[in-house]
Structure 1
Amino acid sequence: MKPTNASLLNRRRCLSLGAAAALAAFATPRGARAATDGAAPAAPEAETRRFQALDLDWTDTTRRRPVPVRLYLPEPVAGARVPLVVFSHGIGGSRRGYTWLGQHVARHGIASLHLQHVGSDRTLWGGSIFGLVGRLQNAAQDAEAVARVQDLRFALDTLLAGELGSPIEAERIVAGGHSYGANTTLLAAGARVAREGSVLDLADARIRAAIVISAPPFYGEDEPQRILASVAVPSLHVTATDDVIRIPGYYSGADDRVKVFEATGSARKWLAVYEGGSHSMFTDRSTTGGATLNPRVKQATQRLVLAFLRGVFDGDGSALAAWPQQHAPLLARFAAPPAA
């Protein structure tokens, strides 16, 4: 079903889709915005492709909702088409974030489309500081969680229908996201949430795999398997032992990220848990989680994502099998599906 009536969505349970858990990821003072948009150090790998970074200001006229995006598009090689990652930011973020990942996959021949969700983006930081909590909580309503997945669907429709979509291979599309964006990813990948006798089924059949970074729990839901068992596509889950969300009434420990992994129904799923870190370490901030650890984790995650995508797209699991040993000093835990 495609829910369109926001009145069906219960405000009391608005945080059940994980948005409130993401508040800690971006709760920076005004004036610190550049820290979230600054690029992290690139991994010391040869840059195999040049790419364009294109800011596109689209509007979904049906919903009267702007959907700004940034597209990292690799230069073509002999007319070959390229896979696509569509990435969703955490609450308070923007299309300008997560450059450390979007640029990296583009250098390696994979396009990356970074969404900006106008109901839960960086504009929340404007206005009076005294109204900040209220603005963040409003952005965490179920209606916004649904709108985010609709943003993703609209952006894919628009990209693939236009000239810029001609090099994209529509059969090789992966959804990815951090924090609130990880919940958006899971919903697009098949997670199903019950509301007032109905099931919100927002799955997009074009999504062939999911990259889930620091996923909050589904607050108010005591059976995550009921929500996540329907996520059947291959999934990569990334977190850290100090990936903790500290918000009054919405505390979430790092074990919640692991519970999301365990509840996900994918037969092929991987989990990387870094030792230390923080919830916001996976944004473009360069020091959170540790000035030394932060870039090392980003570099390791860049390689992990590429290895995962190669396994999903090309059936070559060698890099993914080798990755845990190569990065063992950073890891508290790594889980992989049983060998076939």
Structure 2
Amino acid sequence: MTIHPVTGLTDPAGTATVSVKPLVLRARRRGTDLHVRVTAPTTGTRLPVVLFAHGFGSDLDGYAPLVDHWAAGGFVVVQATHLDSKRLGLPADDPRRPRIWRYRVQDMRRALDELTTLEASVPGLEGRVDHGRVVAAGHSFGGQTAGILVGLRVTDPDTGVAEDLSDARVMASVQLATAGAGGAELTAFAHDNLPWLRDQDFSHITAPGLVVAGDKDDLPLTTRGPSWTTDPYTLSRGDRSLLTVRGGEHFLGGISGYQSAETTDENPDRVALVQQVTLAYLRHITGVDHTDWNNARGALTDGHPLGHLATK
């Protein structure tokens, strides 16, 4: 176990990891096969799973600071490249674009459906995965994807219907820098170009979850300011927690990749905070260990320089 000199939080001793990509899952109706990456510890049994959805435009190679940390901490992390990825280069007039938010959810379901196949494709992993402990996680657009899997209702802009697309196999969620409720608080740009944000209903979320929000995350999608990204916490029900990252902008110090050029608030200590709190939460909610989570709740009070942790 190590103690970070700035965050003051503890981490379990990390283990070596292995990562395999691309694992290709056939998806005829999607129009493009689903490419998946699996990162896992080289030791341990009954390993819980994190199903991770990237932000808009990213791919299965993103978010290494989080993925590597979670895997070293005892989790099998499954990442897919969604249709909005810049890597795929979908044309602006591609007929799949208006329903791209739905395809993301279907991608996650397909990965869960094929979890046994994915497990067998990673050398030494077969038989070591606990299919009964799955947490959905995601950043930005990926946070909506993760939220839908635990009960977030999104009104389909084509049909006007808000379906229940949750998946009973997912026990909890981790949502990082994720969109809040729509309506009048959306900017004209978001209303016109991201119609899946117009009407989001968080009240059906009853599964446990951790929301991570930067108090300087002033997105051009809302007129409300950074507090908009706390909606997945304040408007949901059940056992929920909120990590507010002080000074954090949309990439929370640099979680989207090592030396990522898109990070506007580069800060290694901020990244360490997000790494440690999310791993502590994952270990807590899957029943691996509660010590680090309880320590984080005690340490991240109003006086902590990097963040504040609230629960309800």
- Report the TM-score range of the alignment, normalised by the length of the smaller protein: 0.7 to 0.9
- Deviation string for 1:238-263 (max 9, x for gaps)? 0111112125xx55621101122101
CA distance in 2, matches of 1:154, 1:54: 18
Residue 218 to residue 329, structure 1, CA distance change in 2 (3 Å): same
Report the equivalent of 1:284: 257
8 Å Cα contact 1:194-1:200 kept in structure 2: yes
Give, in angstroms, the shift of residue 46 of structure 1.
6.7
CA distance in 2, matches of 1:290, 1:197: 38
Report the equivalent of 1:3: none
Q: In the alignment, is residue 167 of structure 1 matched against residue 142 of structure 2?
A: no
Residue 260 to residue 313, structure 1, CA distance change in 2 (3 Å): closer
Report the equivalent of 2:246: 275
8 Å Cα contact 2:19-2:40 kept in structure 1: yes
State the identity %: 25
- Root-mean-square deviation (CA, aligned residues, Å) is 3.0
In structure 2, stretches of 5+ residues that fail to align are: 1-8, 186-196
Task: Give 1:57's aligned amino acid.
Answer: V
Report the equivalent of 1:202: 165
8 Å Cα contact 1:70-1:114 kept in structure 2: yes
Give, in angstroms, the shift of residue 60 of structure 1.
1.4
Q: In the alignment, is residue 120 of structure 1 matched against residue 84 of structure 2?
A: yes
8 Å Cα contact 1:246-1:252 kept in structure 2: no
Give, in angstroms, the shift of residue 318 of structure 1.
3.3
Residue 230 to residue 318, structure 1, CA distance change in 2 (3 Å): same
Report the equivalent of 1:57: 24
- Deviation string for 1:219-250 (max 9, x for gaps)? 33789997111111110000111112125xx5
**Farther-moved stretch of structure 1 (250-259 vs 183-192):** 250-259
Report the equivalent of 1:317: 290
Work out which of the residue numbers 288, 304, 307 in structure 1 matches 2:277. Answer: 304
Question: 1:23-102 residue pairs with structure 2 within 5 A?
Answer: 47-55=13-21, 56-77=23-44, 80-102=45-67
CA distance in 2, matches of 1:199, 1:221: 18
Residue 157 to residue 166, structure 1, CA distance change in 2 (3 Å): farther
Aligned length: 278
Task: Give 2:107's aligned amino acid.
Answer: D
CA distance in 1, matches of 2:127, 2:225: 43
Identify which of structures 1 and 2 has the higher relative contact order when contacts are C-alpha pairs closer than 8 Å and 6+ apart. 1
Work out which of the residue numbers 225, 238, 244 in structure 2 matches 1:253. Answer: 225
- Deviation string for 1:36-73 (max 9, x for gaps)? xxxxxxx9967532111100132313433321111102
Residue 114 to residue 246, structure 1, CA distance change in 2 (3 Å): same
**Farther-moved stretch of structure 1 (275-284 vs 95-104):** 275-284
1:207 partner SS: coil
Task: Give 2:265's aligned amino acid.
Answer: G
2:183 partner SS: coil
Task: Give 1:120's aligned amino acid.
Answer: D
CA distance in 2, matches of 1:226, 1:183: 9
Report the equivalent of 2:190: none
Q: TM-score, normalised by structure 1?
A: 0.73
Give, in angstroms, the shift of residue 105 of structure 1.
1.1
- Deviation string for 1:23-45 (max 9, x for gaps)? xxxxxxxxxxxxxxxxxxxx996
Q: Which runs of 4+ in 1 moved over 6 A?
A: 137-140, 221-226
Residue 226 to residue 299, structure 1, CA distance change in 2 (3 Å): closer
Residue 201 to residue 335, structure 1, CA distance change in 2 (3 Å): same
CA distance in 1, matches of 2:31, 2:127: 26
